[in-house]
């Protein structure tokens, strides 16, 4: 039984159990690390470009301001994107280890992985056990807030789907359930069908 790590790394995605466990874990982890690298590169480029424009000297021409913004992007974005990829890899490793150790894939694994990753960030960037503990607490808090919002949105969407389903039934319109059943129903085969009658003329 394996989990799609693209879902795991997004803190609350729905696990998908498919294929070979080893291949799914490795391929999914590579996908997530690359995805976070690209996300960090995109967001970091926008942030540092704007910061570079604002940090330009007063009275500088438009070309000089753009050139300064591009220099800020080139000097800062690779480091930021690499950090995003590294911390996403750390999250996946901890989540994977907890999943194998506990034999479960649940939110507790991701909460521990969030705390460990945030604590690692605090220890490396701020230094000291106190900073690591504060960052770990913030990581768990952020995870719980995300899960609360995710649960509320799922609950609201489920209630809306029920209301919409009842409304369509009242109007006599086809619902998603009836259309899905119609698509999965086997087609009827009659003796008049030329494809089964043996008439190839």
For 91-149, the pLDDT digits (tens) are: 888 888 888 888 888 888 888 988 998 888 888 877 778 888 888 998 889 888 988 89
**Considering its fold, how many domains does the chain have in total?**
1
Task: Report yes or no on 196 lying in a domain.
Answer: no
Average pLDDT, the chain: 76
Cβ atoms of 108 and 12 within 8 Å: the answer is no
Query: Which range (9-18, 34-43, 93-102, 169-178) has the least confidence?
Result: 9-18
Mean pLDDT, residues 57-72: 83
Task: Report yes or no on 73 lying in a domain.
Answer: yes
For 55-198, where are the alpha helices, taking DSSP H only?
Answer: 62-102, 107-125, 129-171, 176-184, 194-197
Task: Report yes or no on 185 lying in a domain.
Answer: no
Task: Report yes or no on 194 lying in a domain.
Answer: no
Mean pLDDT, residues 152-167: 83
Compute the Cα dihedral for 153, 154, 158, 161 and give only its sign: positive
Task: Report yes or no on 173 lying in a domain.
Answer: no
Q: Which domain holds residue 72?
A: 5-105
Task: Report yes or no on 145 lying in a domain.
Answer: no
User: How far is 99 from 111, CA to CA, in rounded Å?
Assistant: 12
Task: Report yes or no on 74 lying in a domain.
Answer: yes
* pLDDT over 50 at 13, yes or no: no
Task: Report yes or no on 10 lying in a domain.
Answer: yes
pTM greater than the 0.85 cutoff: no
């Amino acid at each position: 039984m394996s989990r799609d790590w693209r879902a795991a790394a997004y803190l609350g995605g729905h696990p998908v159990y498919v294929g070979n466990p080893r291949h799914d874990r490795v391929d999914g982890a590579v996908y997530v690390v690359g995805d976070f690298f690209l996300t960090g590169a995109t967001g970091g480029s926008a942030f540092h470009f704007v910061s570079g424009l604002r940090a330009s000297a007063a009275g500088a021409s438009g070309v000089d301001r753009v050139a300064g913004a591009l220099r800020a992007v080139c000097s800062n974005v690779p480091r930021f994107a690499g950090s995003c990829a590294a911390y996403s890899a750390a999250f996946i490793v901890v989540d994977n280890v907890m999943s194998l150790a506990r034999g479960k894939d649940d939110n507790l694994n991701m909460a521990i992985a969030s705390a460990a990753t945030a604590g690692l960030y605090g220890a490396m960037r701020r230094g000291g056990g106190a900073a690591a503990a504060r960052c770990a607490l913030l990581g768990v808090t952020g995870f719980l807030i995300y899960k609360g919002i995710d649960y509320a949105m799922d609950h609201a969407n489920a209630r809306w789907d029920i209301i919409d389903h009842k409304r369509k039934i009242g109007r006599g319109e086809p619902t998603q359930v009836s259309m899905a059943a119609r698509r999965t129903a086997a087609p009827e085969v009659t003796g008049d069908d030329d494809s089964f009658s043996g008439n190839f003329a």
